[in-house]
Amino acid sequence: MKIKEIISVLEEMAPLAYAEDFDNVGLLVGDQDVEATGILVCHDALENIIDEAIAKNCNLVVCFHPILFSGLKKITGKNYVERAIIKAIKNDIAIYAVHTALDNHQEGVNKIFSDALGLVNTKILIPKQNFIRKLVTFTIPENAEELRNALFDAGAGNIGNYENCSFNSKGIGTYMGNEHSNPQIGERFEFVQGDEIKIEVTFEKHLENKILKALFKSHAYEEVAYEIYELQNQHQNVGLGMIGELKNPMTQEDFLLFVKEKMQCGGIRHSNFTGGTITKVAVLGGAGSFAIKNAIQAGADVYLTADLKYHQFYEAENKLLLADIGHFESERYTKNYIVEYLRKKILNFAVILSEENSNPVKYL
């Protein structure tokens, strides 16, 4: 199996189009055309992780955080990033990062976080905006079903928990072909007027090339009339953070002790207790101070995230409980999920969970 075949599986799990614009995801180091010897899955692709990959005969490291985040002007081994990259290149080890591509997936980081706490009725906290587009096209009635099905197969027509969604309306189409035309119906220079079906479907923007390929392949006409619109609505199944409910309400103190145990936290920093109970829980793995207002607007009783600064705890405004459980801790089980996913998709191949703890934060 070549590395590029494994990458295809990884992109099914975490489509790169889901990643935030600032992020650096995908294949960061290595040649995708070489044969894979094994996959080592980790949280951070540090130098000791590369050593582990060498020892376990894995030439592909799949990490959550990208070891290469911003541009490098020199690679001299002067810091931990450069040393890891140099060692990976010297030993022909590829590095692939998923990061916010998995953060934004409805089954990704924040669903993993929510499941660890036993939350139910979960939904995306901050749905991704400007990610949905609409295709409008026109065809003869005899071609409509075949064309719709081709568009569905290419990924169009998915809305929330529903698939194969479209809107179809009847109308009258007209055209007249010139000397270079080869019309499906009628002759050159003949004015043709006939029944047509207008088909409208929505799709995720990264699927546009695939959608258009299906459109042109399955459409009955020589010249395909179509329109694509960028929609302003939100994608309810793609986005950052998650909000859900506890099966049984807890006091605030009991809940934080519960979180500390479940997420194996060295400590939890939190805002003032408000005196209420915890039922509705918002989570965002990693640095999530930007979503405090979203958690409040969503009616959360508590917001669990990481990397909160001193003054950001004031933003709780006694409207909810803010809790910083630690960056690594909030993403703790992500690598386990990646391993389980790959083992289900790639049978009879070594997919290894790293034994190294890459959390740089220690507690007394």
Task: Dump pLDDT digits (tens) for 118-142.
Answer: 999 999 999 999 899 999 999 999 9
Regarding beta strands 351-353 and 39-44, do their DSSP bridges make them parallel or antiparallel, or are they unpaired?
parallel
**CB-based burial of residue 228 (10 Å sphere; 0-12 exposed, 13-18 middle, 19+ buried)?**
middle
Residue found by looking up tokens 């934080």 in the block: 256
| Three-state SS at 300 | coil
- With 0-12 / 13-18 / 19 or more C-beta atoms within 10 angstroms meaning exposed / middle / buried, residue 35 is exposed
* Torsion of the alpha carbons at 90, 94, 99 and 103, rounded to the nearest 10: -160
Cα–Cα distance measured from residue 72 to residue 82, given in angstroms and rounded to the nearest whole number: 8
CA nearest neighbour of 342 among 163, 96, 114: 96
Q: What percent of the chain clears pLDDT 70, i.e. is strictly above it?
A: 100
CATH class given for the domain over 3-99+333-353: alpha beta
Residue 116 CB contacts under 8 Å (≥ 6 apart), including other chains: 262, 263, 332, 333
Nearest residue to 315 via CA among 333, 297, 335: 297
Name the residue type at position 68.
Answer: L
Mean pLDDT over all residues of the chain? 96
> What's the pLDDT score for residue 185?
87
Q: What integer pLDDT is reported at residue 280 of this predicted model?
A: 98
Secondary structure (3-state) at 31 = coil
Domains 105-128+239-325 and 131-231 in one fold: no
CA distance 117 to 267: 17
92 is in an annotated binding site: no
Identify the helix (H) or strand (E) that includes residue 54. Answer: helix 47-55
pLDDT tens, residue by residue, 318-345? 999 999 999 999 999 999 999 999 999 9
CATH code 2.40.10.10 for 105-128+239-325:
no
Q: What is the pLDDT, as a whole number, of residue 138?
A: 97
CB 271 within 8 Å of CB 322:
yes
Half-sphere exposure of 5 (CA within 13 A, CB side): 11
pLDDT at position 72: 87
Q: Is 327 annotated as a binding residue?
A: yes
Retrieve residue 259's tokens.
């979180």
Q: Do strands 192-204 and 167-175 pair parallel, antiparallel, or not at all (unpaired)?
A: antiparallel
**Average pLDDT for 199-209:** 95
Domain parsing of the chain, residue ranges: 3-99+333-353, 105-128+239-325, 131-231
- The pairing of beta strand 39-44 with beta strand 167-175: unpaired
| CATH number corresponding to 131-231 | 3.30.70.120
Q: How much is the pTM? A: 0.89
Strand bridging mode 120-129 / 167-175: unpaired
283: which 2 tokens? 């989570």
Residue 10 CA to residue 151 CA, distance in Å, equals: 24
Of the candidates 98, 17, 20, 33, the residue with the CA atom closest to the CA atom of residue 62: 98
What average pLDDT does range 8-36 have in this prediction? 96
The answer on whether 145 is annotated among ligand-binding residues is: no
What is the token pair recorded at 310? 């001193």
* Residue 315 three-state SS: helix
Q: Is 219 annotated as a binding residue?
A: no
